[in-house]
Amino acid sequence: MHATEFAKLWSKLSKDYKGVMDEALAPSLTESQLAVLELVAEYGKVKPSDLLPHLATTPAAITTLLDRMEKNALIMRERDSADRRIVWIQATPFGEQEMRRGIEIRESYWNDTLHRISTHNQQLLILLLGKLANKPAAPDIGSDRNEALISSAAGGHRSR
């Protein structure tokens, strides 16, 4: 199998990505904060507990993250008017601005990285990573096309 080679390449790509993102997002944003801002943008206002399934962290770490984000004016917390125990998280205008900046930085990194391979191979890479992540293929690629992409990449031979 190719596990060792894959692990080395994945580790290198992840390290490069993290280094670029850490440097480019600093000093006002981190990658975790960007993820929170994107979730808030997607769902409107959210409760801290709503973030747990989307972030690989603990409730205590989310609280610390949100404290830092509030201190840096990226988010604001607001008590629910009907149930004061519930705290809603919303992005501030500055948080929305920083989210857009972070997305642009990420898009630029991945566009530059993916530019090294053909559009066909980009689609194939997304399909295969989706399979590894147990997610359905991108909606713009039909399942018949998926099989053709995989088959052509495997030189016409298909193994599962």
Mean of pLDDT values over 13-22: 96
Mean of pLDDT values over 78-97: 96
> Which pLDDT score, from 0 to 100, does residue 56 have?
86
Give CA separation, 66 vs 20, 40, 49, in Å. Answer: 23, 12, 12
User: Of all residues in the chain, what percent carry a pLDDT higher than 90?
Assistant: 78
The residue ranking higher by pLDDT, 1 or 2, is 2
- Confidence class of residue 97 from pLDDT cuts 50, 70 and 90? very high
Q: Is the pLDDT of residue 83 over 90?
A: yes
> Which pLDDT score, from 0 to 100, does residue 151 have?
55
Alpha carbon distance, N-terminus to C-terminus of the chain = 12
For residue 33, what are its two tokens? 């904060």
**Tokens 């404290």, residue located:** 67
- DSSP characters over the chain: --HHHHHHHHHHHHHHHHHHHHHHHTTT--HHHHHHHHHHHHHSSB-HHHHGGGSSS-HHHHHHHHHHHHHTTSEEEEE-SS-TT-EEEEE-HHHHHHHHHHHHHHHHHHHHHHTTS-HHHHHHHHHHHHHHTT-PPPTTS-HHHHHHHHHHHTTT----
Average pLDDT score, the chain: 88
> Which pLDDT score, from 0 to 100, does residue 158 have?
47
Q: Is the pLDDT of residue 54 over 60?
A: yes
Instruction: List pLDDT tens digits, range 36-48.
Output: 999 999 998 999 9
Instruction: List pLDDT tens digits, range 102-156.
Output: 999 999 999 999 999 999 999 999 999 999 988 655 555 445 555 555 555 555 5
**Tokens 């904060």, residue located:** 33
> Which pLDDT score, from 0 to 100, does residue 160 have?
43
User: Of all residues in the chain, what percent carry a pLDDT higher than 70?
Assistant: 84
Q: Is the pLDDT of residue 33 over 90?
A: yes
For residue 29, what are its two tokens? 């944003």
All domains in the chain, ordered by first residue: 3-116 (1.10.10.10)
